[in-house]
Structure formats: structure tokens, C-alpha cells
């Protein structure tokens, strides 16, 4: 699901419909409001699924700037 230069999804909504159908929505840009297991979670996400600067949302920029501080605590 990685899109070159745009990154990958942070969360998804999977809806089961009757009879035997489904609908999936992927969140590529909004804050998923989850806690990664390590302080470098979002940095690692960008390492494996790089985004160009114009595809890094403001909330993600904020979290990336906090990670070095969190690691030192």
C-alpha cells in the first residue's frame, strides 16, 4: 500500500457489508492517535516508507520533532 514519495497508511477502517461485501478506507494523512511501541516509531516509518516533504502532514512533523527529545528522557 506504499505510494512512492507519498508514504503509506497510518490506519484503516474495514467495514463489512451484507451480503458478503466489504469496504476499506485507508488513512494516509490524518493522525491515527496511536502510540508506537518505541520513541522512534514515526522516524522508522519514514525510513521504510519515505515521504517527500510536501507529503508530511503538520501533525507528523510535530511528532518527528519530539522523538529525539523523547529518546533522551
Q: What is the mean pLDDT of the chain?
A: 86
Residue 2 lies in a domain: no
Half-sphere exposure (Cβ direction) of 51: Cα atoms closer than 13 Å: 21
On whether residue 4 sits in a domain, the answer given is no
pLDDT on residue 23:
96
52: which 3 cell numbers?
A: 517527500
Instruction: Determine the pLDDT at residue 41.
Output: 83
**Omega of the bond leading into 39 within 30 degrees of 0 (cis):** no
Residue 39 lies in a domain: yes
What is the pLDDT at residue 34?
82
Count of structural domains, the chain: 1
Q: Evaluate whether residue 50 is within a structural domain.
A: yes
Report yes or no on 53 lying in a domain. Answer: yes
Residue at 58 is within a domain: yes
Query: pTM for the whole thing?
Result: 0.72
Question: Structural domain of residue 57, as residue ranges?
Answer: 11-72
**What pLDDT digit, counting tens, does each position of 2-30 carry?**
889 999 998 999 999 989 999 999 999 99
Amino acid at each position: 500500500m506504499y505510494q512512492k514519495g507519498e508514504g503509506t497508511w497510518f490506519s484503516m477502517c474495514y467495514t463489512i457489508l451484507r451480503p458478503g461485501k466489504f469496504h476499506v478506507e485507508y488513512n494516509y494523512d490524518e493522525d491515527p492517535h496511536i502510540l508506537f511501541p518505541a520513541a522512534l516509531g514515526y522516524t522508522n516509518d519514514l525510513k521504510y516508507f519515505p515521504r517527500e516533504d510536501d507529503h508530511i502532514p503538520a501533525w507528523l512533523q510535530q511528532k518527528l520533532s519530539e522523538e529525539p527529545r523523547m529518546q533522551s528522557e
